Amino acid sequence: MDTIFALASAQGKAGVAVIRVSGPRSKSAAEQLCGCPLQDRGMTLRCLRGSDDNRLDDALVLTFAAPASFTGENVVEFQIHGSVATVNAVLRALSDIDDLRLAEPGEFTRRALENGKLDLAQVEGLADLIEAETEAQRKQAQKVLAGDLGRLADRWRKDLIRAASLLEAVIDFADEDVPVDVTPEVLDLMASVMDDLEKEVSGVGIAERIRTGFEVAIVGPPNVGKSTLLNALAGRDAAITSEYAGTTRDVIEVRMDLSGLPVTLLDTAGIRETEDVVEGMGIALARRRAEAADLRVFLVEDIKTVDVQRQRDDIHILPKADERSCVDGAISGKTGVGVSELVTSVSDILSERSMGAGTATRERHRTSMLYALQSMTECRAVLNSGPDMYDIAAEELHTAIRSLEALVGRVDVENLLDEIFASFCLGK
């Protein structure tokens, strides 16, 4: 096994930078730079020197003995001053040591997976945590990283193994003192697991939205203030505004944090009948994006005049409150009237939807759980045919178990690993 190293903190200037080394030669390499022995596990301040005895930097050196480390291997971390020159000097010194090489993207985390320190769902949770921009994303990623999904999968797996063992006991020891009709207990075990899986499957869509972001489309006819409202919500000039109808011809996106939730606001082209080919393309795109969005804000006098299907929870609000004597139910991006109320409404609707999020957060998770459900449904149907079909029922349960093992990366995931770890930075 190679010994690998990389900068584990962010690139660029910083007060402190962290360089991580993992593998069998990590401690001896650190001792070579420090010029003295180090404890198997501990923390000490040392002066680092290169192969030419040139002083590199003073460093806080942390040593971790296997398996009590992030990767499950011997690990050393150097906390050094975070100038670009200092970091490069220490990295060069490490590269000069035999049998050490620069880590590939995600290689530290991949070793943690291979050494049983993390399961695949936790690896995905770590990737999500690194990318988290809002409080909701952070909390969701922390749940997955903490192993909540893995614990659920283990519990389901144990119940299915118990169910399969009951069926196999009848098959293998039919003439001995074992209960012949184990169907009721098997069905009870399966029912509990299937109920949990169905709840998790139904919550994946919302969980994935928390991870990737909700889309909220501002919809209405031309020149009602959609772009002005978007700019007011964004706090900057994200969209061009003018008194001329049809100024917005493409969908303009602004990413925001609303009450801890990631939200992408869409400013769409004004919807109307037009003979302008380019504007017509923009309107067609606006309809498609609006209908695919998670929520629509209709900025229009009469919602029936806009050819976009209204859906549950959609918001209808009157435009140009600054030109009205009565501002009830109206909004103005120009003066700010009604903007805070709109933000509250959108946040409340999306927060309520987020309460239905499950622990599973990705389409891969949903697919594995659906395969398990499908196998258990087949098993339940076969059980109704009596003990003569127990062998088939047991095989269906084993198929369901393999699907749950794939959920946390125990089987059939090699083709996923390169894609997953490619999203990590070098230091992870």
Per-residue pLDDT of the chain (428 residues; tens, 9 = 90+): 899 999 999 889 999 999 999 999 999 999 999 999 999 999 999 999 998 889 999 999 999 999 999 999 999 999 999 999 999 999 999 999 999 999 999 999 999 999 999 999 999 999 999 999 999 999 999 999 999 999 999 999 999 999 988 888 777 665 555 555 788 899 999 999 999 999 999 999 999 999 989 999 988 888 788 888 888 887 766 544 444 344 444 578 888 888 889 998 888 766 656 566 666 777 777 788 888 899 999 988 888 878 788 888 999 999 888 888 888 888 988 888 988 999 999 999 999 999 888 899 999 999 999 999 999 999 999 998 877 888 899 999 999 999 999 888 876 555 455 655 666 666 66
DSSP for 184-228, written as a single string: HHHHHHHHHHHHHHHHHHHHHHHHHHHHH-EEEEEE-STTSSHHH
The confidence score (pLDDT) of residue 177 equals 54
Burial label for 251, CB within 10 Å (0-12, 13-18, 19+), is: middle
The confidence score (pLDDT) of residue 358 equals 87
Predicted model pTM: 0.79
Question: Edge-to-edge strands of the sheet including 295-299?
Answer: 252-258, 261-267, 214-219, 295-299, 315-317
Q: Are strands 315-317 and 295-299 parallel, antiparallel or unpaired?
A: parallel
CA distance 277 to 334: 30
